[in-house]
Amino acid sequence: MNNGKKATSIEGSTLQLSTKSLPSGRFGGGFDLTYMHRCIQLARNGQQNAQPNPMVGAVVVCEGRIIGEGYHVRCGEGHAEVNALTSVKKEDEHLLKDATIYVSLEPCSHYGKTPPCADLIISKGLKRCVVGCVDPFAKVQGRGIQKLRDAGIEVTVGVLEEECKNLNKRFMTFHRLKRPFISLKWAKTKDGVIGVKSEERRAKHDNLLISNTYTQMLCHKRRAEHQAILVGRRTLEMDAPSLNVRAWKGKNPQPVVLGKNVKDLPEGWWCFETIEKTLSALYERGIQTLLVEGGRETLQAFIDKDVWDEAYVETGEFSWAEMNREEGVEAVFAPTLKNAERVEDAWFMGHQIEQWRHLS
C-alpha cells in the first residue's frame, strides 16, 4: 500500500481505490465515522425484507446537518440512495450541490430492478460521496465509484469498511465465493449427544428432543433467515423432518437433501448427491444462504471440507448418561468443529447457544 492507494481485488479484477486518510476539518474526519454509523443503523431496518439484496443505508449531509436519510427497504424497490435523496425537503434541495452522501455500500452502476444510483447522485449534483465498502456484485465491483469520480464527485472509500462488509456478510460470501453462506446448527446434551441410533429408541426418545420452547423459537427464526435448509439422506428417511418455520413468523426455506438413492423424496424438495453439486446448484439458483441441520455425518462432511461460515451449537440442560438408564441404546455424538473461533455465548432458560465462526 502506498500513496494512500489500496489495491482491492474482487474476483480477479483489481481496482485502484483511494483510501487516503479521512479529510480533517469540521465536516470530515470523525464526522465521516458518525454518519457511516448512522448508515449502518438505518441499513439494519432492511433485515427482514431487503434480502436477497444487501442491507444498505444512506445519509445526506450538508454543513453538519442531516438533510435526508433512507435505507433499502425491500428487494425490487428503491435503493438506499434513492430513498435518502427523495427524503430531502424541497426547501433543502438547493443545498445538494454542497452536500455529501454517505452510503454503506458502493452506489450501483447497473440497471437491475431499478436504475443506477450513481447516475442519480450525479444528476442531483452532490459534491462528495463517502462509501463504506465496494459492492462485490459482478455488475458493479467498483464501477459505481468510478462513474462518480469520472463525473467529478469526490469519493472516499472504506469508512467503517469491516463493519459495512460484516453487515452483509451473507451477500458478500455469495458473490465472492460463488456459493451460499453456510450456517451449521445442532443441539446436544450436556455430554455431547445429538441423537440415538436405533429406530425404536429414536421414537421413544423423540430422537432426543433437546430444545426448549424458547430455543425452538430461535431455531425457527434462524430457518426463516435462510433461503435453503439441508439434511442428509438418513435424517430424511429416519426422522421425516418438515424443516419449515412454525414457531416463528417468516418464509419457509427451500428443503434440500444430500445423498444418493434417496427414497420417497417429499414433493418440492431438492436432492443433490454431493456437497459440491449442492453448492453450485444453489449458487446458480440465486440461493444466498444455506442452513445445515444434520445429521452428524452431513454436518461433519461440511466441517471436514472446510465449507461453512457459522455454526450454532445449543447445549441442553440434561445429560444422556442421566436420561439413558436402559442398556444398549447407542448414542450419536456431536460433530467436531475445526478451524473455528467462538464468537458469542448466549443463555436461554438454562440452555446455552454458542456461535462459532469459521476461520478461513
Residue 192, CA atoms < 13 Å, CB-side half-sphere:
5
Partner in contact with 67, chosen from ligand AOF, Zn ion, none, beta carbon below 5 to 8 Å by kind: none
- Binding span for Zn ion by CB under 5 A among 37-45, 46-54, 70-78, 106-114: 106-114
Catalytic residue positions? 81
Instruction: Considering only residues 21 through 60, tell me which ones interact with ligand AOF, judged by CB under 6 A.
Output: 53-54, 56
Instruction: Considering only residues 66 through 105, tell me which ones interact with Zn ion, judged by CB under 5 A.
Output: 79
Among 8, 40, 133, 135, binds ligand AOF (CB under 6 A): 135
Written as nine digits, the cell of 135 is 459492492
The residue whose Cβ lies closest to ligand AOF is 112
Burial class (CB in 10 A: 0-12, 13-18, 19+), 143: buried
Partner in contact with 196, chosen from ligand AOF, Zn ion, none, beta carbon below 5 to 8 Å by kind: none
Alpha-carbon span 349 to 105, nearest angstrom: 38
Please report whether residue 105 would count as binding ligand AOF according to CB under 6 A: yes
Please report whether residue 157 would count as binding ligand AOF according to CB under 6 A: no
Written as nine digits, the cell of 74 is 425491500
Please report whether residue 148 would count as binding ligand AOF according to CB under 6 A: no
How far apart are CB 150 and ligand AOF at their closest, in Å? 17
Among 43, 50, 108, 331, binds Zn ion (CB under 5 A): 108
CA separation, residue 219 to residues 48, 230, 240 (Å): 16, 14, 18
User: Beta-carbon neighbour count of residue 243 at 10 Å?
Assistant: 22
- Binding span for ligand AOF by CB under 6 A among 112-120, 123-131, 161-169, 271-279: 112-120
- Binding span for ligand AOF by CB under 6 A among 102-110, 195-203, 215-223, 252-260: 102-110
Query: Which residue from 356, 49, 39 is spatially nearest to 225, judged by alpha carbons?
Result: 49
> 85, 113 in Cβ contact below 8 A?
no
Alpha-carbon span 148 to 101, nearest angstrom: 12
Burial class (CB in 10 A: 0-12, 13-18, 19+), 264: exposed
List interacting residues with ligand AOF (CB under 6 A): 53-54, 56, 72, 79-81, 105, 107-108, 112-114, 117, 135, 137, 140
List interacting residues with Zn ion (CB under 5 A): 79, 108, 117
